[in-house]
Amino acid sequence: MKGSKMDAGAAAQGRKARRRGPGMLVPIGFLVLFFGGISAAGFLSFRQSQRYQASVDGFLNAARAGEIDEAYQGLSPRRRASMPLAAFRSLAEHRALRRNRGHSIDASRTVGGSLPADRACVRARLDMDDVDWLVQFYVVRGDDESWRVESFALHEVATVVLSDVLEECGYAPRRVVGYPGPPIVHRTPRLR
């Protein structure tokens, strides 16, 4: 008898365990979907950042090579409409853009909060013989999904470095009162 009661008790416990098993699949399924969604969003964000960083790379490479017309084509239609090639040429001929040995992307982020993102700020360091320069870009995504430079500004690297040098990316003169570093130079005017 003892054996039969034990067998019945073991069978009842097995049934209870089986009843709880499918109940655990629902929370596990939600966790898999949640973390899968986060991973997919992270991957898409990474792919997008590669695209807008590539537009900055193309712009800087063209300027370094002296291909000013090509760099000009890397500007957004709005910027080209407001800045003739001659005015752009005077900005693009700056020694930091023309005579650097290369560049590296320091930081990039999307701005504006729209999804999918259509605006971003990218900061690059230009490798120069004497002193490095920073250049910040405000890039926008066009209707054709390509990213274009809308604004940029050069800033000589100093002990104290501004995180943003373009208004579109968050620069506000009232926040840098007492800033001891070099001035921001060759900044495109803000488009309104």
Closest CA to 49 of 161, 168, 141, 151: 141
Digit-coded pLDDT (tens) for 74-107: 999 999 999 999 999 988 999 899 999 999 888 7
pLDDT at 25: 66
How many whole angstroms separate alpha carbon 53 and alpha carbon 58?
9
pLDDT at 44: 47
For 162, the token pair is 């501004």
Digit-coded pLDDT (tens) for 105-123: 887 787 776 656 788 888 8
Digit-coded pLDDT (tens) for 11-43: 555 555 455 556 666 666 666 555 555 554 444
- Quote the pTM value: 0.68
Residue 126 has pLDDT above 80, yes or no: yes
**Is there a contact between 72 and 88 (Cβ–Cβ < 8 Å)?**
yes
Architecture of the domain defined by 2-185 = Roll (3.10)
Please state the domain extents for the chain: 2-185
